[in-house]
Chains A and B, each alone.
Chain A
Amino acid sequence: MGFLSNWFKSSESSSDIAKSRLKLAITSDRAVCSPELMEQMKNDIIQVISKYVDIDTKGLDIKVTRTEIDDESGGTVNAVLASIPIKDKRPFRR
């Protein structure tokens, strides 16, 4: 009888599919920040880090992306990824 009930019932309802697709779409929509805001954040980060090390502002790259969480859950999270090149070869030698 198992095959019969499987045949009549799809594994996931279309409303469930809609809901999970929407959740994903909306989380990434919400993560998109305006260019002005991004620029502000970039400048602030440069200011803070420059207090400690001499950084190469031209090679700086900051973005907001979705990254997988580092556990078995397989979930994703919004993250700010920044690559900030340091000019000094041995920056923390004081």
Chain B
Amino acid sequence: MGEVIVITSGKGGVGKTTSTANIGTGLAMMGKKVALIDTDIGLRNLDVVMGLENRIVYNLVDVVENNCRIKQALIKDKRYPNLYLLPSAQTKDKSAVTPEQMKKLTGDLRNEFDYILLDCPAGIEQGFKNAIAGADSALVVTTPEVSAVRDADRIIGLLEANDIGQTHLIVNRLRADMVKEGNMMSSDDVVEILAIDLIGIVPDDEHIVISTNNGEPLTGSDCQAGQAYMNISKRILGEDVPYLDLEVTKSFFQRFASIFKR
């Protein structure tokens, strides 16, 4: 029986889709059979992040409306044969799917896959309710900014109210240099405020932009974000992985400047 995990955040633009793509890729790299579902109806994006936008024939709404079988709508990943994407519909709106239909869909996929990751839309309306309907656990993505953390707190409350058992936190786009200067909240600060368990810290890394440009998730690659996402995937599988040392090596000029800041 597979596990259904929803990736959510409340606020938009904090990295839900990127996290879904990269964690899914990480789990697939470790041999798990993974399905990614884009539940953001009307604003689909997981397909472009995965680089699979040209292969879409059927979508999520076609599946729940029985226009096709699930297997026809699932797109196989370019690189990992045990990774699949169920894209969202672009021309419908959130009301095209109900929580009950999502529950049935994820229930059916459980028999086929080890992990089903749901990329949740921003907000707390219908789309969010659909996405969490069939989920066993949740990954809450936030950045170390007041607006994102506040929305994450709302989401955590709603997840609890809807009996989503386990909720873990991903702190995304952390800048170690700014944390050190006291100009960005640390992951410890965020964890203290939100009071849920941390599962990953992803540094602000320009490689993410490049990987999204290319439509190829960077999990497992040499860069810090790639390592961070691989570690999150391993932690989902129950491995005890230490957190990365995100300390950036400062250039000579930066070190020189920091002497005067003291």
Contact = CB atoms under 8 A, between A and B. Distances in A.
Q: Report, as a range, how many residues of chain B touch the other chain.
A: 10 to 19
A16 interface: yes
B185 A15 contact: yes
B153 A26 contact: yes
A interface, over-half SS: helix
B183 to A, nearest CB: 5
Interface in A1-32: 8-9, 13-16, 18-19, 21-23, 25-26, 29-30
B45 to A, nearest CB: 28
Given A8-B260, A26-B193, A30-B157, A18 B146 contact: yes
Contact of B154 (A14, A18, A23, A29): A29
B238 interface: no
Nearest to B261: A8
Interface centre among B145, B146, B183 (most CB of A within 10 A): B146
A83 to B, nearest CB: 28
Contact of B185 (A9, A19, A25): A19
B131 interface: no
B interface, over-half SS: helix
Interface string B220-235: 0000000000000000
Contacts of A16: 182
Contacts, number: 40
A29 B153 contact: yes
Interface in B171-201: 179, 181-186, 189, 193
Interface centre among A8, A26, A30 (most CB of B within 10 A): A26
Contact of A13 (B146, B149, B183): B183
A23 B184 CA distance: 15
Contacts of B185: 15, 18-19
Interface of B: 145-146, 149-150, 153-154, 157, 179, 181-186, 189, 193, 260-262
Given A8-B260, A8-B261, 4 more contacts: A15-B189, A16-B182, A29-B150, A30-B153
Interface of A: 8-9, 13-16, 18-19, 21-23, 25-26, 29-30
A-B residue pairs, 5 tightest by C-beta: A13-B182, A15-B185, A26-B153, A14-B183, A15-B182
